[in-house]
Amino acid sequence: MAEAIIKQIEIYKSPIRLKETFVTSLGPLDFAENVIVIIKTNNGITGFGECSPFMSINGESMDTCYVVAQYLAKSLIGKNALDIEQCSLLMDKTIFANTSIKSAFDIALYDIASQQAGLPLYRFLSGTNNKKIITDYTVSIGKATKMANDAQKIIDNGFQFIKVKLGESKEKDIERIQLMRAKIGMDTPIRIDANQGWSVNDAIEILKELGQYNIQHCEEPIARWNYMEMKKVKEQSPIPIMADESCLDHNDAKRLIDLGACDMFNIKLGKSSGIFKAKKIIALANAAGMKLQLGGFLESRLAFTAAAHLALTSDNIIHFDFDTPLMFVEDPVIGGISFDNKGMITVPETNGLGATVDENYLSKQTKQMIN
């Protein structure tokens, strides 16, 4: 195997304010509190990675990621960046879980490996740029009338798919979709995400009621720990069920497939520890004939560029939830994916990830360097 020895790793806190408060059943958010990892090798290649920790989902924060990143960096200095499997195993040996910060390192390693190979990341992953990647745009939880108006604004702005955050109560959630459909009509597909907010019985009742409203799928209707009951929900729901918080990595995916618990998976690099394990989820889903969504947390275009490259590796990846970079008040990313006014995404054809971060922006952030 060729070598690209890791000689230096830079870790940055990257908090960016959102244009407006983003609310889910798990609580409100005003900032994307992210971490950027930059890995430099002895042969002059630099890889960029990013994560967006989410305390109530992966148990990490920007501050914990910043600290854990230093442990991971010290373990990786002197290692071959091109041996991604060994680097992944080493990170897992260094510390359990912490999937978000591991994903930032993973993305940077894949950036290095695909640059070394002289290929865009999707081609390095044996993908083909042969599909349309169209992101949805999300309506966060609020009063039903405001959510309906927000949905109309999304359509007016040209987006073709709407994602709606639910999970508060049966009556309120049903009213939200009813008012939304009354406002925007039935044509624009809606995807709903309860973020674990419903009981089993409420989930079944709500999904049965919402079945008439052209809902494409429902993400994580019940608590993640209650995954043994998800099959019951799936079997009674007229709306396909997508596992999100209950499916972090390939081990979770296999368990859910064996249980027949869901129709689809939502893959997020911040849950899977990055591309290396996400590929294993995709392989399992392909074997099971399951469709997939690629999503994320509150990453910038940097990490979503990695997700977009990965999206080009399987025909079963058909849904895309890449909208959060559009919610930022500033965009520090150079290169990377671009969005048109209908949510269509263009993936860069340059070697590697094809995305870096503005040096002026980085110079203003809290930084730690490991040599």
**CATH label of the domain that carries residue 62:** 3.30.390.10
Core vs surface per residue 148-185: b (16+ CB within 10 A) or e: bbbbbebbeeebbbbbbbbbbebeebbbbbbbbbebbe
Structural domain contains residue 54: yes
The reply to whether 13 and 66 lie within a common domain is: yes
In this predicted structure, what is the pLDDT of residue 209?
98
Mean model confidence pLDDT for the chain: 97
The reply to whether 109 and 171 lie within a common domain is: no
Instruction: Judge contact between 23 and 141, C-beta under 8 A.
Output: yes
Structural domain contains residue 184: yes
The total of other beta-carbon atoms located within 10 Å of residue 19's CB is 9
Residue 33 has pLDDT above 90, yes or no: yes
What pLDDT digit, counting tens, does each position of 117-158 carry?
Answer: 999 999 999 999 999 999 999 999 999 999 999 999 999 999
The band of 246, judged by pLDDT with boundaries at 50, 70 and 90, is very high
Structural domain range at position 258: 123-356
Q: How many residues does the chain have?
A: 371
Q: Percentage of residues in the chain with pLDDT exceeding 70? A: 100
The reply to whether 35 and 184 lie within a common domain is: no
- Weakest-pLDDT range from 26-30, 57-61, 367-371: 26-30
In this predicted structure, what is the pLDDT of residue 310?
98
Sequence-distant (6+) residues with CB within 8 A of 231 are 259, 260, 261
Map tokens 């990013």 to a residue: 50
Q: What is the mean pLDDT of residues 245-265?
A: 98
The reply to whether 208 and 224 lie within a common domain is: yes
Structural domain contains residue 244: yes
Q: How many domains does the chain have?
A: 2
Q: How far apart are CA 66 and CA 34, in angstroms?
A: 9
The reply to whether 166 and 307 lie within a common domain is: yes
Q: What is the distance, to the nearest Å, from the Cα of residue 287 to the centroid of all Cα atoms in its chain?
A: 22
Q: What is the mean pLDDT of residues 67-79?
A: 98
The reply to whether 105 and 133 lie within a common domain is: no
Return the active site residues: 165, 193, 219, 244, 268
Structural domain contains residue 1: no
Q: What is the mean pLDDT of residues 321-328?
A: 97
The reply to whether 71 and 187 lie within a common domain is: no
Q: Is the dihedral of CA 29, 294, 15, 64 positive or negative?
A: positive
The reply to whether 72 and 176 lie within a common domain is: no
Structural domain contains residue 149: yes
In this predicted structure, what is the pLDDT of residue 262?
98
Q: How far apart are CA 15 and CA 315, in angstroms?
A: 34
In this structure, the strands spanning 6-24 and 367-370 are: antiparallel
In this structure, the strands spanning 190-193 and 355-357 are: unpaired
The reply to whether 218 and 325 lie within a common domain is: yes
In this predicted structure, what is the pLDDT of residue 25?
84
What CATH number is attached to the domain comprising 228? Answer: 3.20.20.120
What pLDDT digit, counting tens, does each position of 79-104 carry?
Answer: 999 999 999 999 999 999 999 999 99
pTM (2 d.p.): 0.98
Instruction: Judge contact between 307 and 322, C-beta under 8 A.
Output: yes
In this predicted structure, what is the pLDDT of residue 1?
82
Structural domain contains residue 65: yes
The reply to whether 130 and 224 lie within a common domain is: yes
The reply to whether 19 and 167 lie within a common domain is: no
- Of 240, 245, 238, the closest CA to residue 220 belongs to 245
The reply to whether 229 and 329 lie within a common domain is: yes
End-to-end CA distance of the chain: 23
The band of 291, judged by pLDDT with boundaries at 50, 70 and 90, is very high
Residue 26 has pLDDT above 90, yes or no: no
